Amino acid sequence: MLKKYLARFFCVACAAGMLSSCGDSKAGGTGEFATVFATANSTNSVVSSDVATWFDLTTGAAAQPCAANSFPTVTPDNVILNVTSTAYTPANTGSSSTIPASALSISNVTLTFTPANSATPALPARFQTQFASASPSLIVVGSNLVTLQIVSDDMKNFLAANLQCSGVLYTYRVSVAMDVVEVNTNRSGTVSLSGNGYLTVNMADFGDTAK
């Protein structure tokens, strides 16, 4: 009798709390909060990153790397994430009551770079783990497009010595983990990329297309 009572009490507590641990486990990478759960997907899973963009000194048109009369410029690369916040409702919690859905705030983004093959060297510690900001940082219920800097100009300048004019290609897998706080409840959690959990970044001194 005591076992039945405890089991019934546990189920009621789960339904009343509407928390993620109550028998409604989400997929890997999903952030679960008090009133919503959130997922993130990249609109482009492979990023082609030039360590430098070359321009002709005379015409200003794009030029091949290290060509005569050409000069390099360095520009960071961004990716756009689709961050979706979904309110807990009776349909996905099993409860008969609704909870007012709160907005989320992205407080920090951690990027971890790992070589994808044996031809790609490991990065120094300061580039292996990087911290980025998301724009916008406020996530409302529904679909949100968030811009994230994935390759900084500092990293490009560091790799330029090995990649400029060399024809060499480095490929990194970049995991993305967002520290998120639920605005109305102060509930914190982590939202990572859905799917395999990482982006692929190809870095080289690619030839540019004339403009």
Q: What is the pLDDT of residue 16?
A: 37
> Mind listing the pLDDT tens digit for each residue in 15-74?
334 333 333 334 458 999 999 999 999 988 899 999 988 888 778 787 777 877 888 889
pLDDT over threshold 80, residue 189: yes
Q: For residue 12, is pLDDT > 60?
A: no
Report how far residue 42's alpha carbon sits from residue 57's, in angstroms, rounded to the nearest whole number. 36
Question: 3-class DSSP state for residue 99?
Answer: coil
- Asked if residue 144 is part of any domain, the answer here is yes
In a domain, 195, yes or no: yes
What per-residue confidence (pLDDT) applies to 53?
Answer: 84
In this predicted structure, the answer to whether residue 14 has a pLDDT above a threshold of 70 is no
Q: For position 9, what pLDDT does the model report? A: 35
Closest CA to 174 of 128, 135, 107: 128
Does 133 reside within a domain?
Answer: yes
In a domain, 150, yes or no: yes
pLDDT at site 65: 77
Residue 48: inside a domain, yes or no? yes
Q: For 88, which DSSP code?
A: -
pLDDT, tens only, 103-116: 999 999 999 999 99
Q: Which domain holds residue 99?
A: 2-204
pLDDT of residue 6: 36
Residue that the structure tokens 């190809």 belong to: 202
List strand residue ranges (DSSP E) for 61-120, in order: 70-73, 77-87, 104-115
Per-residue confidence (pLDDT) for residue 210, from 0 to 100: 45
65-69, long-range: CB < 8 A, 24+ apart: 65/164, 65/165, 65/205, 65/206, 65/207, 65/208, 66/164, 66/165, 66/205
Does 210 reside within a domain?
Answer: no
Is residue 7 included in any domain, yes or no? yes
**Tokens in use for 153?**
């100009």
pLDDT cut 70: percent of the chain above it: 81
Average pLDDT of every residue of the chain: 83
- Looking at residue 126, its pLDDT comes to 94
- Strand-pair partners of 64: none
How many domains does one find in the chain? 1
CB atoms within 10 A of CB 25: 10
107 domain residue, yes or no: yes
